[in-house]
Structure 1
Amino acid sequence: MNITITPAAEKFMRRMVRFGGGGPDAGFRLQVSAGGCSGYASEFDVAAPRSGDATLDWNGLKLILPAESRLLLEGVTIDFADTPTSSGLTFINPNAASCGCSTSAPAGPAGVTTVSIDSIRRKA
């Protein structure tokens, strides 16, 4: 699989796994689907792999990706941005086109999707 994870994103993912309480088999599970103005909608949590998931080892970090996520993340760089107005993962897709819709969301560079840390879900 051809993805890149920046040091900032790796640090964020490691902290999530360390403090997520998912047990010894847990990793950073990232589910990405097509949707939204920027082309991606995603959720992430700390969980063990499920049936059909692939586990990538990134310098000892378990990155768990469902099948659809693997297809969508091909060639993408995953980064982490922390600004005064938002914090979250950022997906940089060099092959994505600019958004042409008219929304009230702030415009960003072509092919960049931000996923807020508000999308973290704690399992009951």
Structure 2
Amino acid sequence: MQPNVIVKPAAEKFMRRMVRFSGLGAEAGFRLTVTAGGCSGYNAEFTVEGAPLAGDEVLPVGDLNVFLPAESRLLLDGVTIDFADTPSSTGLSFHNPNAGACGCSSSSGTSAQPPGIATVDISAIRRS
């Protein structure tokens, strides 16, 4: 089942660069694993893989292959994925218009992410 997910151009560019610089070849793809949890409702990891793993579905984004495990497909339905590069954070962000607000805040006194927004910092990059 293909999720109804929107990948914004900045996120696609980031994913494409990760795959290209991996050196794994034309069949390689960006594997995105999203699980429930965290303040915004998402925990996410990504890797670049030479081929989809068992149970992954390939989501074509232009000529880029995004490999999604089953649970990720369910959680990403209706989500917009973008990429942000700001002085305070760099990474993918996930916007779910159906998510509720988070009631927590960080210890530094700053407010929490807007409802339904999750970010994955580029430090989460792993190469398999």
How far residue 104 of structure 1 moved from its aligned partner, in angstroms, is: 2.6
Q: What's 1:87 paired with?
A: 90
Q: What's 2:99 paired with?
A: 96
Decide which of 16, 20, 23 is 2:22's aligned counterpart. 20
How far residue 122 of structure 1 moved from its aligned partner, in angstroms, is: 2.2
**Distance of 2:72 and 2:103 partners within structure 1:** 24
Alignment of 1:1-124 (within 5 A): 1-47=3-49, 48-104=51-107, 106=110, 107-123=112-128
| Secondary structure class of the residue paired with 2:127 | coil
1:74-113 CA deviation, whole Å, 9 max, x = no partner? Answer: 0000000000121000000000001123543741211100
Letter in structure 1 aligned against 2:88 = T
1:31-77 CA deviation, whole Å, 9 max, x = no partner? Answer: 00011111100100110201100001111110100000000000000
TM-score with structure 2 length normalisation?
0.90
**Distance of 2:32 and 2:76 partners within structure 1:** 10
Question: Any gaps of 5 or more consecutive residues in structure 1?
Answer: none
Question: Any gaps of 5 or more consecutive residues in structure 2?
Answer: none
TM-score with structure 1 length normalisation?
0.93
Structure 1 ranges of 4+ moved more than 4 A: none
**Distance of 2:32 and 2:18 partners within structure 1:** 12
- Equivalent residue pairs, number: 123
